[in-house]
Structure 1
């Protein structure tokens, strides 16, 4: 399997390569990378194309046409050839032999002694360069392409001049011969290894202008390195940015944010799997406190450092309510390894970040722009230690407060117990007094009840004795009166009894429904009737109605 990056047509870039642990670790430094477990490839959003190409171009990756076009459209500075590999910009030898309108040429002269061979031409140009630059000159530029050739005896690379925004203005090929390289490395060791020769650092070389005759290649030959220039330029640039941030009033904005009493929800920005990553997680884990750490991978060296760290800060800022503090960490290295944190954009982003930011970059003696605008702890381990110490102080305050609360509670309980005992004693005395009073009142009521009961019983006996004499007499009177009333009613009922009328020769006519017929006009001819007489009944039938003589 070759190393290849392809655009999938759906706003993502697929990264395929044979397994390589170093490459996997580099891919993991991309903040938005994802792993497709089923098809075994990594992928990133197409918006990260510049970061991806700059990360992988020197590792033999091929980039398809869509990826190359997208890289160029988004401002990529590398020149990618047809195969998609990074290459130097085209030289005069790469241009077409004929361009524009072809002029009419005079007939060529016949070959003669004045003709030059290619080697003769290159030699003459070399002599001209030597005449124009008879002595070495000091040349300032940024190293590019050094890392991919560092394993060779003689290292070929480029020196680049860049604009303020990082774009390439000019470049020249350079060659560092083995003997000069060993001398420069000895010079760096004697200076305490402040940095090493690698891509993307600014240097000042003493060079000899040269042309390599076999290839016709214009180049500079490295003779000497100005160690102090690289260190001084980095320090000058850092101090200038710090002055700008102080002038803008940003140097103490983030440091004025108070760490929460329990800062256990931690965001960590660093290279995944790095020493800084492991040191921070180990320190927090071994503390015994319940730290909840969320890690966002970021590049911590090279030009991708600024956009990568800014992307991580934006991610945490969008989720600020989930975190108490943010750590930005990078392990030790040369001084030039840390200059990628010395940018104004990073300084402003950290200074204005809504959560407390803790910086742990480099060694004890190292200093970056970020250390000037946030809590500076020098090393990743010290940054983690600050949080551990803060948690320990919070726990100590909690324990002290708990002890004070327990002491106050014990004193309060003792006072309450004494007060309760006093109240209980007073309550018992009051209760006995009130019981005695109640008992006296109860005895008095008892005597009154007994006296009243005796009086009431005596009065009732007297009323009962009187009633015993009155009841029989009254009962006889009422019986006699009732008997007279009953006899009077019986006489009246006897007088109105129909049977008495029948006994005097009259009859009572009833219809079949037992109703009494009292009006002859209501009788119907042929209607059967029952006549009740003094002795017995007669069934009769209506023949006709006879007019009443009283009506004639």
Structure 2
């Protein structure tokens, strides 16, 4: 067989592929790799890979590109899913096949289906939740379609002031949280112990779990553990959807507040922690508002106590006035009755006065100044005094 020129072979391949795939587009599922993105130029080169489901052996690999006319599909995908266009993502893509005698075989990506990626993420997340419920029913369980955890059922302190903060050092999330906390309009003071570590990317869940272990080993009576993370892609957010962190959060014995910087999806950590808010700033605002509610309840009790005390004093004063008036009336009647009694007794005493008795014709028999009341006491020949109304007469008894 006579050899042919390379260009003839290339042109033949181009013709065959053009006949088979020219003017056609097909949907393919593949994993991204080796991405070279040029946003300023409006195009992107990458490799699409298919690997064994049971392992990581490569089954197929093809070069691909996104040209300027379809470059918007990257932004559309990221906005729809919250996932950054990066390597090692499995995508469903509409592609056309082209062959160049100089550049070889290449797939042009025309469109990326975001629903496929979102479905994959949701399936993976649901599998983790199902595994946690199955493996740790004492920590995570379902009630009326809602996930309930041991951490959620912990009593929330009336004031949350002593905090353990898990965040990346110097990150926007760390900065936003500290700023909002220290600049709160009520002047509340918080004691914050920092447990800084990686909170996104590969291995972040292990780093966070290690810090939770440190917090538990510290034996400090923290009111809450706060986990914050600034903005980022959905892939960076993946550490909060892992089995190991979900288990650690669900069973932790201090209430965990999560403010991990996402506006779109709810992570497994959000579902299983004691309280979840959208951002680090809102996490700080939540703590301030929680303490504000306690202060307002104290102020309300103070006002109620003031009102009750004022009403009690007024009621007591009225009762005292009434009792005073009643006492005055009773005393008036008492003294009036006693005065009547004394008057009557005075009249009686006046009637019984010996002088008055003598005026009525009676006489007193005295011996040596002592009144005699019985005749048997008088002896014959004694000298006696007889006191009459107008004088005394001396006599000798017979």
Shift of 1:226: 0.9
1:241-390, aligned counterparts within 5 Å? Answer: 241-247=128-134, 248-249=136-137, 250=140, 251-287=148-184, 288-319=187-218, 321=220, 323-332=222-231, 338-374=237-273, 375-390=275-290
Please show how residues 164-313 of structure 1 align to structure 2 within 5 Å. Answer: 169=58, 172-185=61-74, 187-188=76-77, 194-216=82-104, 218-247=105-134, 248-249=136-137, 250=140, 251-287=148-184, 288-313=187-212
Q: Give the root-mean-square deviation of aligned CA atoms.
A: 4.2
What are the Cα deviations for residues 471-501 of structure 1, in whole angstroms up to 9, with x where unaligned? xxxxxxxxxxxxxxxxxxxxxxxxxxxxxxx
CA gap of 1:364–1:193, structure 2 versus 1, over 3 A, is: closer
Shift of 1:146: 2.9
Structure number, greater radius of gyration: 1
SS in 1 for 2:152: coil
SS at match of 1:321: coil
> Could you tell me how far 1:373 is from its partner in structure 2?
0.5
Give per-residue Cα distances to partners, 1:130-165, cap 9 Å, x unaligned: 667664332223433336655554311233456789
Q: Which runs of 5+ in 1 are unaligned?
A: 1-112, 412-552
The separation in 2 between residues aligned to 1:383 and 1:265, in whole angstroms, is: 14
CA distance in 1, matches of 2:83, 2:252: 31
Rate the CA distance shift 1:407–1:200 in 2: closer, same or farther, 3 A: farther
Of residues 132, 139, 145 in structure 1, which corresponds to 2:28? 139
Distance 2:299 2:270 in 1: 33
What is the alpha-carbon distance in structure 1 between the residues aligned to residue 50 and residue 193 of structure 2? 39
Q: Which digits, 9 at most, give the CA deviation of each residue in 1:520-543, with x for residues without a partner? A: xxxxxxxxxxxxxxxxxxxxxxxx
Q: Residues 211, 165 of structure 1: CA spacing in aligned structure 2 closer, same or farther, 3 A cutoff?
A: same
Shift of 1:186: 6.9
Map of 1:392 onto structure 2? 292
Q: Tell me if the contact between 2:167 and 2:198 (Cα under 8 Å) persists in the aligned partners.
A: yes
- 1:401-480 residue pairs with structure 2 within 5 A? none
Task: Report how many aligned residue pairs link the two structures.
Answer: 300
Unaligned residue ranges in structure 2 (runs of 5+): 141-147, 313-398
TM-score, normalised by the number of residues in structure 2 = 0.60
Higher RCO (C-alpha under 8 Å, 6+ residues apart): 2
Greater shift in the superposed pair: 168-177 or 256-265: 168-177
Aligned-pair distance for 1:355? 2.0
1:152/1:180 Cα in 2 relative to 1: closer, same or farther (>3 Å)? Answer: same
Is the Cα–Cα contact under 8 Å of residues 269 and 296 in structure 1 kept in the other structure?
yes
CA distance in structure 2 between the partners assigned to 1:275 and 1:266 by the alignment: 19
- Matches of 1:314 and 1:166, distance apart in 2: 33
- Where 1:222 maps in the other structure, the secondary structure is strand
Superposed displacement of residue 205, structure 1? 1.0
- With over 3 angstroms needed to count, the CA separation of the structure-2 counterparts of 1:151 and 1:355, relative to structure 1, is farther
**Cα distance between partner residues in 1 of 2:204 and 2:171:** 15
**Secondary structure at 2:71's aligned position in 1?**
helix
Kept in 2, the 8 Å contact 1:234–1:336? The answer is no
8 Å Cα contact 1:159/1:173 also seen in 2: yes
Distance 1:278 1:132, change over 3 A: same
- Given that 2:149 and 2:272 are in contact with CA atoms closer than 8 Å, whether structure 1 keeps it comes out as yes
| Distance 1:322-1:201 versus aligned 2 partners, 3 A rule | farther
More strand by share: 2
Q: State the distance in 1 between where 2:224 and 2:252 align.
A: 10
Deviations 1:447-471 (A, max 9, x none): xxxxxxxxxxxxxxxxxxxxxxxxx
**Counterpart secondary structure, 2:189:** coil
